[in-house]
Amino acid sequence: MHFHYDVPGDDFSCAGSASAEMKKKLKQLGIPFDIIKRTAVAMYEAEINMVVHAGGGEADIDILDDEILIVMKDHGNGIPDIEKAMQEGYSTAPQIVQELGFGAGMGLPNMKRNSDFMTIDSKIGVGTTVTMRINLSPKKEPVAVGAETPVSCANCKAGAVNSAGVVDSGVSTAKVAQGGG
Q: How far apart are the first and last CA of the chain?
A: 27
Q: What percent of the chain has pLDDT over 70?
A: 67
How much is the average pLDDT of 164-174? 40
Does residue 155 carry a pLDDT above 80? no
E strands in 125-172? 127-135, 151-152, 160-161, 167-168
Closest CA to 169 of 105, 122, 129: 122
Q: What Cα–Cα distance (Å) separates residue 128 from each residue in 33, 62, 92, 135, 145?
A: 29, 19, 15, 23, 27
Does residue 21 carry a pLDDT above 60? yes
Report d(CA 54, CA 48) in Å as an integer.
10
Which tens digits make up the pLDDT trace of 73-132?
Answer: 999 999 888 888 877 766 766 676 666 667 666 678 889 999 999 999 999 999 999 999
Name the band, by pLDDT with cuts 50, 70 and 90, for residue 154.
very low
